[in-house]
Amino acid sequence: MKKKQTKISKVQEQGTLGIAYLKTIWSSTILKKQGIQNKNIELKHNYVTAVFDALGIGIEPTFKYIYEQSPSFESFENWVRDHGNLSSEMIAMVNVAILGSESEVKKTPYEDAILDDKAIAHWEKEGYVIIPNAISKTDCKASLDLIYGLLEIDPNNPATWYNDHPLKQGIMVQLFRDPQLDKNRFSKKIHSAYKQLWNRNTLIVSNDRVSFNPPENENYQFPGPNLHWDVSLKRPIPFGLQGLLYLTDTPANQGAFTLVPGFHKKIDQWLEHLPSTVNPRTSNLQELDPKPIAANAGDFIIWNQMLPHGSSPNTGTKPRVVQYINYQPIDREIANEWI
């Protein structure tokens, strides 16, 4: 009996999980495994990452499973249910972004401005802005209880702050999804600020992790990341935003988030005059006069991705804990070459 040939799925087909583009990802991968190559089955990277963020599942293990098992779409959806961490809110955002009308997806006026004229003026000049009280103190405490409990940390016992844990990678903690983290992620204030800065209503939210930065001592030194960029430096560098939520009160010396204010207005000239023998990513970015950003638990910082940024050594007496959250358009510009 002749095997039924797989066809490329239409973008709007949502399957039983109710998310657009997942069947397109499955059918495109199956066709490529069968040796079928044509431009109609090429996947859009932004769509793929958005779908997998909403499903709370890794890209690499998912494609490995499809290639190795060649599952039916029904079996694939069941596998996603078993291995993922689905968010109905994120799925809804992805569906609007992928399936929305031209007028919805393209630039439209934001609906609920939260940044006043003073905040916008600071944003335009310095390239970053602080949104006070983006989440409540109660939610900060619940988030800290979650993170400390997972890492087996007693906030009142410094000896526990430096214990090894499989989820720790330097100061980064591989904790992405939890109802409390999702509650923070969908803060109306955070979402509204991103919409205002993007000047768009239709954004998707990232599936980012958290960070735990304890004080330095004789046995522990800050491992980084120091000042860096998370975007290609190929010019013109596209507009983009990044953000983090302080879950602890964070003075400047407590491992505060650090950036170079106003560098979005200088980066082109700086790159232009950099000697050809100097790699901008390994140059001494401390010479650019970075500034640690002190803020309170519950405050959210958004910065322009052109600013060099990073964490800093914690010379205080308490850990710094943050959650990374980013909203962006699904059709955002991404450089095709990493420099």
The topology (CATH level 3) of 117-328 is Jelly Rolls (2.60.120)
Burial of residue 11, with CB atoms counted within 10 A of its CB: 0-12 exposed, 13-18 middle, 19 or more buried:
middle
CA 245 – CA 313 distance, rounded (Å)? 18
* pLDDT at site 37: 73
Q: Which amino acid is at 107?
A: K
Residues 6+ positions from 48 with CB-CB distance below 8 Å: 21, 25, 59
Q: What is the pLDDT of residues 219-269, one digit of tens each?
A: 999 999 999 999 999 999 999 999 999 999 999 999 999 999 999 999 999
Burial of residue 298, with CB atoms counted within 10 A of its CB: 0-12 exposed, 13-18 middle, 19 or more buried:
buried
CA 178 – CA 167 distance, rounded (Å)? 15
Q: What is the pLDDT of residues 64-112, one digit of tens each?
A: 999 999 999 999 999 999 999 999 999 999 999 999 854 454 555 566 7
Band (pLDDT 50/70/90 cuts) for residue 6 is: low
* pLDDT at site 112: 74
Token reading at 222: 């800050």
Token reading at 291: 């500034």
Does position 2 have pLDDT exceeding 50, yes or no? no
* pLDDT at site 111: 63
Q: What is the pLDDT of residues 46-65, one digit of tens each?
A: 999 999 999 999 999 999 99
Task: State the Rg of the chain over Cα.
Answer: 22
What are the residue ranges of CATH 2.60.120.620 in the chain? Answer: 117-328
Q: pTM for the complete prediction?
A: 0.91
Q: What is the mean pLDDT of the chain?
A: 92
Question: Among 108-122, 156-170, 279-293, whose mean pLDDT is lowest?
Answer: 108-122
